[in-house]
Structure 1
Amino acid sequence: MVGYPMVFLLAAGSCGFLLSNKTGILSGGGQGVVDNHYLSLMDALRVQTHSLSQMEAFVLKQQIELNAMKQEVTKLKAGYNTTESQAIVILKNETNSLLYDNKKLQLNQDILTHTVEVLNSSITSIQKDNEALKLDNVLLKVKTDFWQNETVNLKQRFSTFFNSISASDLSNITNLQRDVFSLQSKVSDIGLRQKVLSSNAFFRSQDIHALSNQSKAFQKRIEHNLSVIGLQSNVSQNRLHASEHNQAQIIVELKDIETKLDHMNETVALTACFVYDTTSEAGTIKFPAIKTAIGITDLSGFQNTGKFTCDKSGIYIFSVFIAHDGKDYFEYFMNKNTNSLSRVIVSGDTQSSTPHTYHTGSGTVVVQMDVGDTLHASMTSSEEIEGRYSCLTVIKIR
């Protein structure tokens, strides 16, 4: 709506008053509603609508990125090859990007909340101005009634005075009467304009009421969207936390796999033999001549005791071959700790007429070893061992 520019001059003797060209009326320091209030309010509503559209588009983009991230996590759970390791890096980058976008969303939400507060403040200011306009209208009506009463009294006084004066004063009376009619015309004009102002105030009040309802509806929509955005933000944060948890779990599993692979790739190998022909006593057979030793921490202990002690758990091959000079057979045992894994017979030839009868017996087993377990060969009797043809071998295969 536009204002009605009005300038009224009411002269009665030496007194008068002036109305401004605003739609409101100044009274006691109050200020009426001007068109700039409505323009400002409409601008604020347009800014609100534009901000809401941007936020909805941003939320949609975030949902798309979350779905893409979920697909990447699903693919990542299927295995641990090189491609999926690259997917972990991509997932980290997308997670950081999503956290950055979430911060932008929070900033936009704060801006939108501030805009709503400014809009509410503008509505409150307009309502106060409307109340001031109503009060000014009441005061104007009181003044109008006062001047109407003054005009009636003045007319009565003029009538009385006219009856009491002589004919010589008729000219002056006529001029005075003309002034009275002019004053009445101005009072009537003021009354008409007061009605126009009252009508304008009524329509402005209706406009403010409609605008207030529209603002409340818009505010409810904003609050609803904010609650939806807050819920989606919580869901997004939960998904981020789940993704970070899964990512951390995958990293732990990968490190565990790497540890196992390193452990599997640890090399342990030992080959030891007799130095010369000797008669070995019953019990643990010792092989003091070290031919190969890889990953062995206590060679002297093995040479002194004849027992291989495991430092790295895994699967081992345990192999022993022993050459015997004698006509009678004998047997030896392949042991893990105190348990026998295998028994090996070295045959003899009681019918041979030669002074030396050489025979070899060999055994090989695969055994699961833990740290601290031992492997050794043992006999139940003393036997003649051919040193250069008798050896022990231990190899870690995984």
Structure 2
Amino acid sequence: MDLLMEQRRSQRKQDQVIAQLSQALLTLQQEVSKNQFQNGSVNNRLLECENKTDKLKRELETVKGTFEIMKNEYMMVVQNLTNVDTKANQIDKEIVMLKNLKSVTELRNISDIFNKTDRNELEIQMTNHRMNKVINDANARKQDVIALYNKADLTENNLDKHLKELANRVILVAGATRGTYADQQTILFHDIIISNGVRDVDSFKSTGAFTCERGGMYQIAAYIASNANHCSFTVRKNKAYIGDAFASLGDFFETMTFISVVELKVNDTIEIYSGRTGQLVYGNRESGISIVQIR
């Protein structure tokens, strides 16, 4: 009967541990989903910038077409000026010829010629005014297009930088090395499952110490399975205590879990220490650690 009661207590404790692990896994899945959502949002912003860039290119082509029309109008104005100069020279010649005329009718013809000249000069002035207005409008449109293009280019560069930062975030997941550890001995993790943004993986495998290569906020999660009576493990940053986990059942293995968020600077270390001498740590991914940069 005592054995049956003991087995039931063991089963309840194992169910509690499984529930804790499920909650930790759910938290990690939510974080991954959040990162995926952020990546999707960034991709949408990048697509929007590409669409704006295409729109700016089309507006630039429109400005070029307007400039060609203005150029043609300017050539027409130059031609009109040439014609006016020709007419003015002709009028000067006619005035010289008419100096000796005494007929009133011929003098009226001269007055008509002067009136026509005045009208031509007025038309030339109006044409020049319209041409200057078109040129000013085109220059203003050109500056607007250039400003929008530069702004779109800057936004695209910022998005590229953000995407690179997301892709380079540190993610390390590893299974523990099975063995019997002494009190305060560093637990090793040789089974590397995921390694992103970590250059010195071999050092971590051989020493069990994670060395931060990129400063930021990190989520530390560890689970250790052992059958030692009153088993425990301690998590330390730069050899200083930041948390631990315990289990008390002997002769049947239990899983201890630890989850926390810490700020790490470059060259800071994270290690997992055994909590007692002769403590067996199960391997084959029955024990493990995950270190994820969240910011």
- 1-side partners of 2:191 and 2:139: how far apart? 67
TM-score by length of 1: 0.52
- Match among 384, 387, 393 for residue 278 of structure 2: 384
The one-letter amino acid of 2:288's match is: L
- Say if 2:4 is the partner of 1:101: no
RMSD, matched Cα = 3.4
CA contact (8 A) 2:219 2:259 kept: no
Which residue, out of 184, 187, 201, partners 2:106?
A: 201
Match of 1:236 among 124, 138, 141: 141
How far apart in 2 are the matches of 1:240 and 1:87?
Answer: 15
Give the CA deviation at 1:93. 3.4
Query: Relative to 1, partners in 2 of residues 1:330 and 1:388: Cα closer, same or farther, differing over 3 Å?
Result: closer
Contact 1:270 1:293 in 2 (8 A): yes
Q: How does 1:134-173 map to 2 (within 5 A)?
A: 134-135=98-99, 137=100
User: Cα deviations across residues 10-43 of structure 1 (Å, max 9, x unaligned)?
Assistant: xxxxxxxxxxxxxxxxxxxxxxxxxxxxxxxxxx
1:243-254 mapped onto 2 (5 Å cutoff): 243-254=148-159
Report the count of equivalent residues: 247
CA distance in 2, matches of 1:285, 1:227: 81
**Once the two structures are superposed, what CA deviation does each residue of 1:197-234 show, in whole Å capped at 9, x if it has no partner?**
x3343122211211121122112212221232132122
Percent of pairs identical after alignment? 12
Structure 1 residues 88 and 371: alpha-carbon distance in aligned structure 2, compared to 1, 3 A threshold: farther
| Residue aligning to 1:374 | 269
1:336–1:374 Cα contact (<8 Å) kept: yes
Offset at 1:334? 1.8
Counterpart for residue 210 of structure 2: 308
TM-score (norm 2): 0.68
Code of the residue aligned with 1:269 in structure 2: it is: L
| SS of residue in 2 equivalent to 1:209 | helix
Q: Which one scores higher on RCO, CA 8 angstroms, separation ≥ 6?
A: 2
Counterpart of 1:396, as a letter, is: V
Larger Rg: 1
- In structure 2, how many angstroms separate the alpha carbons of the residues matched to 1:302 and 1:219? 84
Unaligned runs of 5+ in 2: 1-43
Secondary structure in structure 2 of the residue aligned to 1:277: strand
Aligned residue type for 1:276:
G
Q: How much has 1:91 moved relative to structure 2?
A: 0.9
Runs (5+) with no aligned partner, structure 1: 1-78, 138-193, 350-355
1:210 aligns with 2:115: yes
Q: Does 1:393 align with 2:295?
A: no
What's the CA shift for 1:382?
A: 5.0
